[in-house]
Structure formats: C-alpha cells, structure tokens
Amino acid sequence: MSETAAAVLKRIFGYDAFRPGQDAIIEAVCQGRDALVLMPTGGGKSLCYQIPALLRPGTGLVISPLIALMQDQVAALRANGVAAAGLNSSLPAAEQNRIEQQLRDGALDLLYVAPERLAQERTLALLAQCELALIAIDEAHCVSQWGHDFRPEYMQLGALADAFPGVPRMALTATADEPTRREIIERLHLEAAEHYVGGFDRPNIRYAIAERAQGREQILRFIQREHPGEAGIVYCLSRRGVEETAAWLMARGLTALPYHAGLPSEDRHRHQHRFLHEDGVIVVATIAFGMGIDKPDVRFVAHLDLPGSIESYYQETGRAGRDGLAADAFMLYGLNDVVRRRQMLESGESSEARKRVERHKLDTMLGLCETTTCRRQSLLKYFGQDMPQPCGNCDNCQEPPLTYDGSTDAQKALSAVYRTGQRFGVGHLIDLLRGNATDKIGKFGHADLKTFGCGNETSIAAWRGIYRQLVAGGLLAVDIDGYGGLRLTEAAMPVLRGQRELQLRRPTETKKTRTRTGRRVVEAGDQDLFDALRAWRLDTAQEAGVPPYVVFHDATLAALAAQRPADLDALADVPGIGASKLERYGAEVLQVINAALAPS
C-alpha cells in the first residue's frame, strides 16, 4: 500500500483532516478486519468505506437500500475521478452489461448494489468471479425487525460472510440503540467486528422546540427570517397535513413541494429531483421522505408535528447541515400531538411488550420537549454520551425558559378532571376552569362544581400548556377511544394532595422573538461572490445533469468566497477541491472569481 489514507483524503476528496473516528475505522478495514460503525447522520460514514476501497486491491462492494442515494453517491464519486458504478433494477440492460464487464475486468473501485439485487444467484455468481476489497452494508439497521426501516432483503445479507470469507465486512448505521445493534451483529454475522461508536453530536445544528400556536405561520416566519432562499425539509405527520402545508407555503411565495407515500410516483420522483437539483427548494413531507437523501446543504429541518421517538427525531433532524455549516432543527408541538401520539400508540395492533417499548420512547421524546435545560445534553445522554457543559447552541441555552411553582395550577387542572368524572377533553376542562358557561357546561351541570371559574385569570393558551405538561409528564392519561378524555394516573395523587411540588414552564407566547439574525453560511461581505459562484455551479450542474453539490458543496463555495484564491495553487488548498475537480473546474472558477471582483 503506497499511498496513505490521509493522502487519498486530500487528493481525491480535497479534505485536510479526518473527522473523529474515520481514520481508525479506515485503518481497521484496510488491515482486513470487520467493523460495526455507528455514527450520526452526516457524521461522515461514506468515506469510511470509500477510502479503504481505494486503498485495497479489488472493488469495494456497497449495499445501499435506496436507488436515489446510490445514484448520487456514484455521481459524486465520479466527479472526484473515482471509478464507481451502481447496479439496480432501473438500469437498461446494455448499461448493466457494460458495468458487469467493467467489474470482471477489475476496472471499478466501487460498486453500489441494491439488497434485492444481491439476493439473486446471478449477482452472487458474478461477484464470485471478482476480487472484492470489502463489503459495506449501509443503513444496516434495516436488518432489524425492531426498527422502523425493516427490509426483508437485508435478512439475506448474513450469507455474505460465508460466500466471501476473508473479505472485510462493515455495517454502518446511524441508529444506535442496543437491541438494534445486537440484531445487526447477529444477523449479519459480525461477531468478530470491531465496534466504532462515533460522537453523536452534530455541533453545527441548532436545536429549538417551541409551542405550536399557529403552526404554519410560525414555520413561515422561521423560514423567512432564518433561511430565505435556502433548502429545507418540513415534516408533518399526515398526508393531508403535507399537502395543505405545501400549498399554503407555495401561496406565500416559497418553493415548497409535497412528498408522501400516497402521491403518484412520478410526482414524488419529480419533487425529490427538484429538491436535489435546484437550489433553495423546500420539501414538505411525511417521514416517507429523507432516508438516503444525501443532500449536504439542507439548511433546516422543521417539524410541524411531534415525532414518535428520539431516534426518529434525531435521524430526521440529522438531515440538516451535513456539510458542517450552520443549520437549524426547529420543532413545534402542542397538546394535540401528545394526545394523538398516545392514541395512535394505544390503539395500535402491536403486542403489549412492543407497546411498552413505544410508550417509553414517546415519554423520552416528550421529556426532551419539556426539558428546561440544554437540549443537546439531553439528546446525547439518550445516546449514552455525556456532555459536560451546556452547548450554547440550542434554544434553552440561548434563552433559558422561565419556570414557576405550578403546584396550585396543576391541582386546579387535575381536580377539574377528577370532579367531572375523568372523561372530558381539554377544551371542556378549560371552559370549566375559566368559568365559561357553554351549553355543554350547562348540560352536565358543571357550573355548580367548585372548580368552575377557579382559573379565570389564566389564559386558554396557558391552560393548554399546563395540561400538555401534565399529560407529557404522565400525570394524566389520554382516553384511547378517540375523544381525548383525560383521567388521573397514580402520579397525579401526590400533586393533588399537595405532597409534591411541580415546576412548570411558563408559556413562551410572551417571549419576544429572537433578535439575532442567525449565523450565516457566508459573511455579508462575501455574499455577492458566493451568489456568483452559486449561479455558475447551478449552470455547470444542470449541464452535467447532476445535483449542484456534486460539483461543489456550499462549504467549498463559502471558502472560495472568503479566501478568493488567485491561482490554481491557492485553489488546491480550498477544502473540497481534489485533483480531479481542480483540473475540471479550476480555470472556470478563477474566472468567476475574477469577474465578480473586477471593479465595474
């Protein structure tokens, strides 16, 4: 092995330093050992198999579940001068034959294959004729029946251990919980693999979770203020929510495209294509969108509804800022989410054991929403990692929430539930507390209760916030039959009896909006040059039929705008410009910079 891993990193990818963990993993695989790699989304897993594939003799085989991802990675590798190809069912036969021939000739550094493809005898026979540098199984959690991305084809990948003895195998995933990890090892026969658990922190992502008042308006303001003209994803729980939100944002001048499993596949394909190939497109989606989307310059991920677990939340928010530049994870949630999620869970078909796991996951997610301390510390703790200091880059760090002794409010709220027979929903309970003599109050004689009107000094929004916190904290349980009736749990008793003090969050509605203009991807003085480079990049990418980030990442354009290299030597020092891109684009880029800086 003549060239070092660090040299390949610079020559091919144009990067100066490895991210934490990458070098150790690359070394282990280069020496022929198996590896289990757990790293957050955007942590830099791909290089962990791409570089050993380049360094070891033979072709690196990558199993990847999504065709779009495969095409992207192949395009990006080719742009860097790497001989890469993908085999999947969407290819015309002639193209397929050509790739197979290249493979037999040993002319490929990397071959991406879909798992169903690999299950075919024919593919295995083909691979048996080749020298393999390694086998990398991406999104390895798809083998787990406990996970939400289970794919039956993954079950057969365990057979690769016997079929290709001596070839180092890697499993890579961003899902780190212990049961999933055990399942991956067992099913993929990775008992001997070394484990690499990368740092789960994504320091460039700012986490913020706010109460939902008028959700769409809040999202719109957030996008207009923090991310005008930038690409992002807005997640909604339901298909209808997706369509309505996309249309609503479109009507307000944003390029917002819907994406969910119920749309015709041409529409889905077109919207995803635009998201990848144009600058500044927003996709409004259910979770059906995103896995395998490798777009590095997603500047924000917003949630209009509460995700069901911290794993989902972290995976979805992890799609922001893969390029390492500042990005936002902004989530809204309210009482309705809590009620809806609890109902979905309890009325689902799952076994009691499974429900217990899901209940726990939802509770932890709610804990994250309600926490008054650093969000990142909570998130990392969930993934088993300690962060000694608060992060300074989340809403709670930047604007510590106000809390107060809410014991009396809680007692009023709980006793309203108790005195009405533990079957009414929040709307009615708040009418009762605020002394609002509706027909329903009259019909049930609730105006005669002691609690009637005892909370008329507190706003409706504030009462909703209090109920939300009581449900989230497990003091109230939600009726699962669909009417959202609340009843007391054991945990409510000490509070009702005045034996336990309860700290509550003050509603956020009174807080002023943030004055900070947000961290910028480029400094204000470099913006014009950055825009000129972006325009050139879009033309270049469209001519080549690849996404703009395959030409250069935003991070590279931002560095170009800041450093303003004057010649090819200086250009070669800019991160993200390897030998192949220097040769292909160097002269043009210098021209764009000169033209933009020339006095007009």
Binding site for ligand ADP (CB under 6 A): 15, 18-19, 22, 39, 41-47, 294, 296, 322-323
CB 97 within 8 Å of CB 168: no
Q: Which does 42 bind (CB under 5 to 8 A by kind): Zn ion, ligand ADP, none?
A: ligand ADP
* 226/323 with CB nearer ligand ADP: 323
**Which residue is listed with tokens 């109050």?**
441
DSSP sequence for 146-211: SSTT--GGGGGGGGHHHHSTTS-EEEEES---HHHHHHHHHHTT-TTPEEEE-----TTEEEEEEE
Determine, following the binding rule CB under 5 A, whether residue 209 of this chain makes contact with Zn ion.
no
Tokens of 361: 């996951």
Minimum distance of ligand ADP from residue 414's CB (angstroms): 45
Q: How far apart are CA 329 and CA 346, in angstroms?
A: 28
* 262/400 with CB nearer Zn ion: 400
Tokens of 154: 């993954």
Minimum distance of ligand ADP from residue 148's CB (angstroms): 17
* 380/397 with CB nearer Zn ion: 397
* 326/502 with CB nearer ligand ADP: 326
CB 55 within 8 Å of CB 30: yes
Minimum distance of ligand ADP from residue 308's CB (angstroms): 21
* 68/491 with CB nearer ligand ADP: 68
CB 160 within 8 Å of CB 195: no
Minimum distance of ligand ADP from residue 387's CB (angstroms): 20
CA angle 474, 487, 348 (to 5 degrees): 70
* 102/371 with CB nearer Zn ion: 371
Q: Which does 56 bind (CB under 5 to 8 A by kind): ligand ADP, Zn ion, none?
A: none
Minimum distance of ligand ADP from residue 58's CB (angstroms): 21
Q: Which does 43 bind (CB under 5 to 8 A by kind): Zn ion, ligand ADP, none?
A: ligand ADP
Q: Which does 323 bind (CB under 5 to 8 A by kind): Zn ion, ligand ADP, none?
A: ligand ADP
Minimum distance of Zn ion from residue 349's CB (angstroms): 38
* 322/428 with CB nearer ligand ADP: 322
* 505/534 with CB nearer ligand ADP: 534
Q: Which does 446 bind (CB under 5 to 8 A by kind): Zn ion, ligand ADP, none?
A: none
Q: How far is CA 106 from CA 5, 59, 60, 86, in A?
A: 21, 7, 11, 15
Minimum distance of ligand ADP from residue 313's CB (angstroms): 16
Q: How many residues make contact with Zn ion (CB under 5 A)?
A: 6
Q: How far apart are CA 454 and CA 436, in angstroms?
A: 11
How far does CA 505 lie from the centroid of its chain?
27
Surface-to-core class of residue 96, CB atoms within 10 Å of its CB (0-12 exposed, 13-18 middle, 19+ buried)? middle
Q: Which does 39 bind (CB under 5 to 8 A by kind): Zn ion, ligand ADP, none?
A: ligand ADP
Q: Which does 374 bind (CB under 5 to 8 A by kind): Zn ion, ligand ADP, none?
A: Zn ion
Q: Which does 322 bind (CB under 5 to 8 A by kind): Zn ion, ligand ADP, none?
A: ligand ADP
* 322/537 with CB nearer ligand ADP: 322
Determine, following the binding rule CB under 5 A, whether residue 374 of this chain makes contact with Zn ion.
yes
Minimum distance of Zn ion from residue 382's CB (angstroms): 14
Question: Long-range pairs for 563-566 at CB < 8 Å and ≥24 separation?
Answer: 564/529, 564/593, 564/597, 565/590, 565/593, 566/590
Minimum distance of Zn ion from residue 558's CB (angstroms): 25
Minimum distance of ligand ADP from residue 53's CB (angstroms): 13
* 323/337 with CB nearer ligand ADP: 323
* 212/322 with CB nearer ligand ADP: 322
Q: Which of 299, 341, 376, 581 binds Zn ion (CB under 5 A)?
A: 376
Tokens of 5: 């891993």
Q: Which does 46 bind (CB under 5 to 8 A by kind): ligand ADP, Zn ion, none?
A: ligand ADP
Determine, following the binding rule CB under 5 A, whether residue 205 of this chain makes contact with Zn ion.
no
Residue 118 main-chain phi, psi, to 5 deg = -70, -25
* 41/144 with CB nearer ligand ADP: 41
Burial pattern 322-355, b for ≥16 Cβ within 10 A else e, equals bbbbbbbbbbbbbbebbbbbbbebbeeeeeeeee
Q: Which does 294 bind (CB under 5 to 8 A by kind): Zn ion, ligand ADP, none?
A: ligand ADP
Q: How far is CA 405 from CA 210, 369, 402, 504, 574, in A?
A: 21, 19, 11, 6, 54
Burial pattern 435-473, b for ≥16 Cβ within 10 A else e, equals ebeeeebeeeebeebebbebbeebeeebbbbbbbbbbbb
Q: How far apart are CA 468 and CA 445, in angstroms?
A: 26
Q: Which of 208, 366, 397, 550 binds Zn ion (CB under 5 A)?
A: 397
Q: Which does 15 bind (CB under 5 to 8 A by kind): Zn ion, ligand ADP, none?
A: ligand ADP
Tokens of 120: 């075919």
Determine, following the binding rule CB under 5 A, whether residue 417 of this chain makes contact with Zn ion.
no
Minimum distance of ligand ADP from residue 232's CB (angstroms): 17
Q: Which does 45 bind (CB under 5 to 8 A by kind): Zn ion, ligand ADP, none?
A: ligand ADP
Q: Which does 376 bind (CB under 5 to 8 A by kind): Zn ion, ligand ADP, none?
A: Zn ion
Minimum distance of ligand ADP from residue 558's CB (angstroms): 13
CB 326 within 8 Å of CB 521: yes
Q: How far apart are CA 141 and CA 447, in angstroms?
A: 55
Three-state SS letters, 307-362:
CCCHHHHHHHHCCCCCCCCCEEEEEEECHHHHHHHHHHHHHCCCCHHHHHHHHHHH
* 39/82 with CB nearer ligand ADP: 39
CA angle 454, 455, 458 (to 5 degrees): 160
Minimum distance of ligand ADP from residue 298's CB (angstroms): 11
Contacting positions for Zn ion (CB under 5 A) = 374, 376, 390-391, 394, 397
